[in-house]
Amino acid sequence: MRQETIENYLKTIYNLSSDNTVVVGNKELAGRLNLRPATVTEGLRKLDELKYVFYEKSYGTRLTTSGAKLALNIVRRHRIWETYLVKELGFGWDEVHEIAEELEHVKNDKLINKLAGILGNPIYDPHGDPIPDAKGKIFKSNFIKLSEAKPKVSYKIMGVTDHSSAFLKYLEKHHLIIGANILVKQFEEFDSSILLTCNKNEIIISSKAAECMIVQVN
């Protein structure tokens, strides 16, 4: 298997398995990788042979220790590059994901560690995602999705789970950036939309948007 293919599978399995607690299904994996389920079945069989995953037919897939190690490494590269592009090269947080998708496959630990060093070994990337350290250790936090927040509680925005330019630009337009403090006023029963205040401005957020926002109690 091509190294880039392996890396994309492992990274995606990692992102879907929330810390290896959930087994990943073929259909969802196929969707994320822009492949057909049949293709993914083949791919997983090979990754299983390479001992990167435990693949149980018709059931699901988990990363092995070595698979998780590689996955964490790719995730580190991706997030370090995103951070470097934003902090050192002046890109917007909405334009770095695509570039990092390519840069993450450049294999050179010295390079990544140098970038990380220049950045002061950051723990979070521009989207609030935790950056594994050189050993693969990741800072564990107790963030929740905004869609799971409680009314009348004040939160701080810590991250996003959708990295698309469209979504990030939308957030920016409403000043819903990382670090911003928001007060959840109420949930609309009808469509689960949320009324909240941010910088003294009231705004209504769709449940879809709230699903993609990560917050922490203030």
The footprint of its own copies (CB under 8 A) covers 85, 89-91, 99, 102-103, 105-108, 110-111, 114-115, 118
Give the integer Cα–Cα distance in Å for 168 and 18.
Answer: 22
Binding site for Mn ion (CB under 5 A): 82, 97, 125, 127, 129, 163
Question: Helix (H, G, I), strand (E, B), or coil: what is residue 149?
Answer: coil
In the list 35, 119, 144, 195, the residue contacting DNA (rule: CB under 7 A) is: 35
Q: What angle (nearest 5°) sits at the alpha carbon of residue 16, between those of residues 127 and 95?
A: 30
201 binds, among Mn ion, its own copies, DNA, none (CB under 5 to 8 A by kind): none
Report helix, strand and coil shares of the chain as percent, to nearest 5.
45, 20, 40
Nearer to its own copies by Cβ, of 100 and 176: the residue is 100
CB of 28 to DNA, least distance (A): 7
CB of 173 to its own copies, least distance (A): 22
111 binds, among its own copies, Mn ion, DNA, none (CB under 5 to 8 A by kind): its own copies
In the list 15, 20, 28, 206, the residue contacting DNA (rule: CB under 7 A) is: 28
23: nearest Cα among 78, 60, 77, 70: 60
129 binds, among DNA, its own copies, Mn ion, none (CB under 5 to 8 A by kind): Mn ion
**CB atoms < 10 A from the CB of 60, how many?**
19
CB of 90 to its own copies, least distance (A): 7
Those residues whose C-beta lies under 8 Å from the C-beta of residue 215, and which sit 6 or more positions away, are: 143, 144, 145, 146, 149, 155, 156, 157, 158, 182
CB 207 within 8 A of CB 147: yes
Number of residues that bind DNA (CB under 7 A): 23
Residue with tokens 């057909």: 36
Binding mask 47-76 for DNA (x = CB under 7 A): ----------xxxx----------------
Residues at the site binding DNA, with contacts judged by CB under 7 A = 1-2, 5, 25-28, 34-44, 46, 57-60
